[in-house]
């Protein structure tokens, strides 16, 4: 099952080592992310006011964060006024218990689910299974992941790491489908046959929520397949689990996000299915509606001035699709239902920076900044990564590495010390240098030379050259002096 | 114009020819070039590695060193990105308002070489001559933090004799990322592998960029593969003339 959760089982470098070695996954991911990257760019370029929309979306989210408790209370009142019930869950455990108790009250042995990352976050499927309730994923990709007893590796495209041949084999084995080809239509038909029966026979459904409007108590799910709409309309009981940051004040505000979300996530002008429900309507749709408001670490993120912007996230996954690290390692390396750049900042924060493995995630980035450029709500992910690195390092006990950086800062804060250190390194490198380059380094730096050469320190530093140049302040096009003595970088001149 | 050079610690120690080239180029263009020997390092390595208290020491040192400069020019998008984008963060996070004010006063006068030439000086032809087939790698900090845009390309297009060939997937990170390459060496290598493959596909004699840190990484991969393609800093190409083949 697609259990999920947000606690990585291993540190990122160790988990990445395994996924990097999976050539099939690497090819699948490269193909998928390259395609969606180009499509997204085209979809975004169509809008002349894209930057203004991003600013507006970011400002709206910041406004909500500044008044979160007020809007949540308004949402609660609106939902109740329309016949829905609201439950507050401080932790993943509380949320699981609430959903399980509701399902049990209706004697459900099976529930159908709309794709929902917040229920993956709280490991709801496993929580329900502990009560003998089987959760059936109805999103095609989530279903693939569930049948394969795998983990999602992308926020929006959970089975992005799988190709059609793998899916055909899986459906044959798990659904007993007779599939002559791995044609997408044949695969979708096999899933439809299985899911239709579930839609018609199951009375309790669980969904997530993309947004909720405080003024009317309306909850919203945005999807591509229509399976979500089946879950939202056909069962008798609907239970929606929603992170508290998803609330918006008004319908007007929703309009901004329904413009930025599809273009950022699926590169579409508008997604095929957008469903709204407000409480219950007698004789139409589910007759019982429960909204579970999930904290699970969010108020701690909210309390942090720099980290707070993380809660603007609308789970569009644009940052994943442009991230060079994600493209190589895939989502599993992040060990959380939130992979990629947003996962690298969200996961450790939701765990209050107390999970050792999650705390390796802020370093799982080359800080190239592509995520920040792509983010429709302008989360400055590189800034938060750096901030978290500082917070985590500060809380760690003294280490060899920390001491080395302290010494380096001391050395570099005085030019004569810095110069002395270079001279020392220049002398010390002797045995390591072969043909002007270093091919193997010891200790902490061994990782560098596993795949790369390093140039040797040249004979002269810049400042040594500067001091000895004959007429430092003269300038003219044809200075006669010979520069050959100052050559000496490993990468020889052409 | 009086220009203070900021020759970053990596350039000073490992790539002095880039510093020389920057000095000679700016002098050739008629500027008075100075090098304040008190300068050391911008502190990026510390800041990015999570040692922000230690970095603060270097931020203060930088501000002390260049406080009175008219204009500071550095042949590194990455280090200028640190100064312009992250010095204010460093001061804010340390709750040091006095430092923040000093940083805000100084940073608008700190430029990366290509943005200084093209955006600040309105110059594209610097009179360079470099008769080689060259491909250009867009470094992340120059592109996304400093927004230098096509400034380096416009400079390269005006270099006589130079055959500029486009690098596939030019906006992709090379995978260096400072200590990222040491902390996550396998992931960094996977990114480098693609970059090296793209560079080699251009059949260029040299790959250039405005940052020796990225070039050290790409060059390290090219060197390990005995590829026959080397890396050269943009400043060295721009400093080269018919009379003086610099790079």
pLDDT in tens, A231-262: 999 999 999 999 999 999 999 999 999 999 99
pLDDT at A492 over 70: no
The pLDDT of residue A434: 86
- Classified as helix, coil or strand, A279 is coil
Give the number of other Cβ atoms within 10 Å of residue A325's Cβ.
30
Interface contact flag, A409 B46, Cβ < 8 Å: yes
Token pair recorded at residue B170: 């030019």
pLDDT in tens, A117-162: 999 999 999 999 999 999 999 998 889 989 998 888 888 888 888 8
pLDDT at B104 over 80: yes
Report CA-CA distances (Å) from A193 to A20, A147, A489, B174. 36, 15, 66, 46
pLDDT at A482 over 70: no
Percent of chain A residues past pLDDT 90, beyond the cut: 73
The single residue listed with the structure tokens 């990564």 is A385
pLDDT at A473 over 70: no
Of all helices (H) and strands (E), which one includes residue A285?
A: none
Mean pLDDT of B62-81: 97
The pLDDT of residue A159: 84
pLDDT in tens, A292-336: 999 999 999 999 999 999 999 999 999 999 999 999 999 999 999
For an interface test with A, the pick among B10, B14, B22 (most A C-beta atoms closer than 10 Å) comes out as B14
Nearest to A462 among B7, B220, B231 (CB): B7
The pLDDT-based confidence of A3 (bands split at 50, 70, 90) is low
Do residues A111 and A128 make contact, with C-beta atoms less than 8 angstroms apart?
yes
The pLDDT of residue A494: 58
Mean pLDDT of A335-357: 97
Query: Is B166 in the A-facing interface, judged by CB distances under 8 Å?
Result: no
Nearest to A492 among B175, B220, B230 (CB): B230
- Our measurement of the distance from residue B37's CA atom to the centroid of its chain's CA atoms, rounded to an integer in Å, reads 19
pLDDT in tens, A97-111: 999 999 999 999 999
Mean pLDDT of B68-80: 97
Token pair recorded at residue B149: 């845009």
Can you list the alpha helix ranges (DSSP code H) found in A368-459?
370-374, 381-395, 400-412, 415-428, 446-449
Do residues A157 and A133 make contact, with C-beta atoms less than 8 angstroms apart?
no
Query: Is B62 in the A-facing interface, judged by CB distances under 8 Å?
Result: no
Mean pLDDT of A180-188: 88
Mean pLDDT of A14-38: 93
Nearest to residue A224, comparing CAs of A139, A151, A164? A139
Report CA-CA distances (Å) from A153 to A173, A330, A343, B126, B189. 22, 6, 11, 49, 21
The pLDDT of residue A1: 36
The pLDDT-based confidence of A487 (bands split at 50, 70, 90) is very low
Report CA-CA distances (Å) from B112 to A304, B119, B120, B141. 33, 10, 10, 10
Give the contacts of A258 (CB within 8 A, at least 6 positions apart).
Answer: A222, A270, A274
CB-based burial label for B53 (10 Å; 0-12, 13-18, 19+): middle
The pLDDT of residue A426: 87
Distance separating alpha carbons of residues A445 and B46, to the nearest angstrom: 16
Query: Is B36 in the A-facing interface, judged by CB distances under 8 Å?
Result: no
- Classified as helix, coil or strand, A86 is strand
Give the number of other Cβ atoms within 10 Å of residue B231's Cβ.
25
The pLDDT-based confidence of A217 (bands split at 50, 70, 90) is very high
Least confident of A17-31, A355-369, B108-122: A17-31
Please give, rounded to a whole number of angstroms, the shortest distance from the CA of B20 to a CA of chain A: 7
- End-to-end alpha-carbon separation of chain B, Å? 25
The single residue listed with the structure tokens 């795949």 is A451
Do residues A311 and A290 make contact, with C-beta atoms less than 8 angstroms apart?
no
pLDDT at B211 over 80: yes
pLDDT in tens, A431-455: 888 888 899 888 878 888 889 999 9
pLDDT in tens, A30-55: 999 999 999 999 999 999 999 999 99
Which residues of chain B from 206 to 245 reach within 8 Å of chain A, CB to CB? Answer: 206, 216-217, 219-221, 223-224, 230-232, 241, 243-245
Please give, rounded to a whole number of angstroms, the shortest distance from the CA of A50 to a CA of chain B: 17
pLDDT at A483 over 60: no
- Our measurement of the distance from residue A197's CA atom to the centroid of its chain's CA atoms, rounded to an integer in Å, reads 33
For an interface test with B, the pick among A321, A361, A409 (most B C-beta atoms closer than 10 Å) comes out as A409
pLDDT at A212 over 50: yes
Distance separating alpha carbons of residues A439 and A451, to the nearest angstrom: 9
Of all helices (H) and strands (E), which one includes residue A108?
A: none
Give the contacts of A197 (CB within 8 A, at least 6 positions apart).
Answer: none
Distance separating alpha carbons of residues A343 and A350, to the nearest angstrom: 10
Distance separating alpha carbons of residues A237 and A202, to the nearest angstrom: 10
Do residues A373 and B144 make contact, with C-beta atoms less than 8 angstroms apart?
yes
In what side-by-side order are the strands of the sheet with B230-233? Answer: B163-165, B133-136, B206-209, B230-233
pLDDT at A2 over 50: no
Torsion of CA A425, A430, A433, A435, to 10 degrees: 120
Report CA-CA distances (Å) from A122 to A94, A102, B4, B155, B218. 9, 16, 55, 54, 42
Nearest to residue A456, comparing CAs of B176, B9, B15? B15
Mean pLDDT of chain A: 91
Can you list the alpha helix ranges (DSSP code H) found in chain B?
9-13, 16-28, 44-49, 52-66, 77-81, 87-93, 97-106, 113-115, 140, 151-157, 180-183, 185-201, 212-224, 234-239
The pLDDT-based confidence of A470 (bands split at 50, 70, 90) is confident
Please give, rounded to a whole number of angstroms, the shortest distance from the CA of A70 to a CA of chain B: 29
What are the DSSP calls for A208-270, one per residue? --SEEETTTTEEEEEESSSHHHHHHHSSSEEEEEEEGGGEES-HHHHHHHHHHHHHHHTS-SS
pLDDT at A484 over 80: no
The pLDDT-based confidence of A479 (bands split at 50, 70, 90) is very low
Give the count of alpha carbons within 13 A of B173, CB side only.
29
Please give, rounded to a whole number of angstroms, the shortest distance from the CA of A336 to a CA of chain B: 18
The pLDDT of residue A491: 53
Nearest to B205 among A368, A422, A494 (CB): A494
Distance separating alpha carbons of residues A360 and A353, to the nearest angstrom: 10
The pLDDT of residue A413: 87
- Interface size A-B, in CB pairs within 8 Å, comes to 241
Interface contact flag, B41 A412, Cβ < 8 Å: yes
The pLDDT of residue A153: 86
- Our measurement of the distance from residue A422's CA atom to the centroid of its chain's CA atoms, rounded to an integer in Å, reads 41
Do residues B93 and A387 make contact, with C-beta atoms less than 8 angstroms apart?
yes
Search chain B and give the residue with CA nearest A329: B187
Distance separating alpha carbons of residues A343 and A317, to the nearest angstrom: 10
The pLDDT of residue B219: 96
Do residues A122 and A294 make contact, with C-beta atoms less than 8 angstroms apart?
yes
Interface contact flag, B246 A12, Cβ < 8 Å: no
- Our measurement of the distance from residue A453's CA atom to the centroid of its chain's CA atoms, rounded to an integer in Å, reads 33
Rounded to the nearest 10 degrees, what angle do helices A12-20 and B185-201 cross at?
40
- Our measurement of the distance from residue A104's CA atom to the centroid of its chain's CA atoms, rounded to an integer in Å, reads 33
**What is the DSSP code (8-state) at residue A444?**
G
Higher pLDDT, residue B212 or A494 = B212
């Amino acid at each position: 099952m697609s259990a999920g959760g947000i606690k990585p089982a291993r540190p990122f470098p160790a988990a990445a080592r395994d996924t990097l070695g999976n050539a099939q996954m690497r090819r699948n991911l490269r193909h998928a992310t390259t395609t969606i990257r180009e499509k997204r760019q085209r979809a975004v370029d169509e809008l002349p006011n894209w930057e203004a929309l991003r600013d507006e979306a970011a400002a709206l989210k910041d406004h909500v964060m500044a008044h979160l408790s007020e809007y949540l209370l308004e949402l609660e009142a609106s939902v109740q006024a329309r016949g829905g019930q609201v439950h507050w869950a401080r932790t993943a455990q509380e949320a699981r218990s609430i959903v399980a108790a509701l399902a049990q009250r209706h004697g459900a042995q099976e529930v159908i689910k709309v794709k929902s990352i917040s229920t993956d976050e709280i490991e709801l499927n496993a929580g329900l299974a502990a009560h003998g309730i089987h959760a059936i994923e109805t999103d095609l990709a989530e279903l693939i992941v569930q049948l394969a007893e795998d983990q999602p590796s992308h926020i929006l495209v959970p089975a992005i790491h799988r190709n059609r041949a793998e899916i055909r084999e899986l459906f044959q084995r798990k659904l007993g489908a007779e599939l002559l080809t791995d044609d997408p239509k044949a695969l979708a038909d096999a899933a439809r046959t299985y899911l239709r029966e579930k839609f018609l026979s199951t009375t309790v459904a669980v969904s997530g929520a993309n947004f909720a409007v405080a003024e009317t108590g309306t909850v919203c799910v945005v999807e591509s397949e229509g399976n979500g709409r089946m879950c939202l309309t056909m069962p008798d009981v609907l239970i929606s689990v929603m992170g508290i940051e998803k609330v918006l004040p008004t319908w007007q505000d929703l309009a901004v996000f329904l413009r930025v979300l599809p273009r950022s996530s699926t590169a579409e002008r508008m997604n095929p299915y957008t469903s709204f429900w407000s409480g219950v309507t007698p004789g139409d749709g589910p007759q019982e509606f429960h909204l579970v408001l999930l904290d699970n670490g969010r108020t701690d993120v909210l309390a942090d001035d720099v980290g707070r912007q993380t809660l603007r996230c609308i789970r569009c996954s644009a940052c994943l699709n442009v991230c060079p690290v994600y493209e190589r390692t895939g989502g599993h390396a992040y060990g959380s239902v939130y992979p990629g750049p947003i996962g690298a900042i969200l996961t450790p924060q939701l765990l209050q920076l107390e999970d050792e493995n999650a705390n390796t995630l802020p370093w799982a980035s080359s800080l190239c900044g592509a995520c920040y450029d792509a983010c429709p709500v302008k989360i400055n992910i590189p800034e938060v990564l750096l901030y978290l690195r500082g917070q985590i390092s500060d809380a760690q006990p003294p280490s060899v590495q920390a001491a080395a950086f302290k010494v380096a800062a001391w050395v570099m804060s005085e030019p004569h010390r810095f110069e002395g250190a270079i001279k020392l390194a220049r002398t010390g490198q002797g045995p390591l240098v072969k043909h002007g380059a270093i091919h193997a380094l010891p200790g902490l730096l061994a990782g560098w030379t596993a795949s790369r050469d390093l140039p040797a320190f040249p004979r002269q530093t810049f400042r040594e050259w500067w001091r000895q140049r004959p007429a430092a302040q003269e300038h003219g096009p044809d200075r006669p002096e010979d520069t050959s003595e100052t050559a000496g970088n490993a990468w020889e001149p052409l | 114009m009086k220009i203070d050079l900021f020759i970053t610690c990596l350039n000073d120690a490992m790539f002095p020819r880039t510093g020389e080239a920057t000095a000679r180029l700016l002098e050739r263009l008629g500027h008075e070039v100075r090098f304040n020997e008190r300068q050391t390092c911008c502190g990026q390595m510390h800041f990015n590695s999570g040692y922000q208290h230690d970095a603060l020491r270097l931020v203060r040192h930088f501000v002390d060193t260049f406080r009175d400069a008219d204009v500071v020019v550095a042949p590194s998008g990455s280090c200028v990105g640190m100064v312009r984008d992250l010095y204010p963060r460093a001061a804010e996070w340390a709750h040091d308002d006095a430092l923040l004010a000093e940083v805000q006063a100084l940073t608008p006068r700190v430029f990366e070489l290509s943005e200084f030439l093209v955006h600040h000086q309105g110059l594209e032809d610097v009179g360079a001559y470099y008769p080689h087939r060259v491909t250009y790698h867009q470094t992340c900090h120059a592109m996304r933090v400093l927004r230098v845009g096509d400034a380096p390309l416009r400079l390269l297009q005006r270099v006589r004799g130079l055959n500029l060939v486009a690098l596939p997937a030019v906006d992709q990170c090379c995978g260096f990322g400072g200590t990222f390459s040491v902390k996550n060496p396998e992931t960094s290598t996977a990114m480098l592998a693609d970059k090296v493959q793209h560079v080699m596909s251009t059949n260029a004699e040299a790959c250039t960029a405005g940052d020796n840190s990225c070039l050290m990484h790409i060059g390290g991969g090219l060197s390990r593969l005995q590829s026959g393609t080397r890396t050269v800093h943009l400043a060295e190409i721009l400093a080269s003339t018919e009379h003086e083949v610099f790079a």
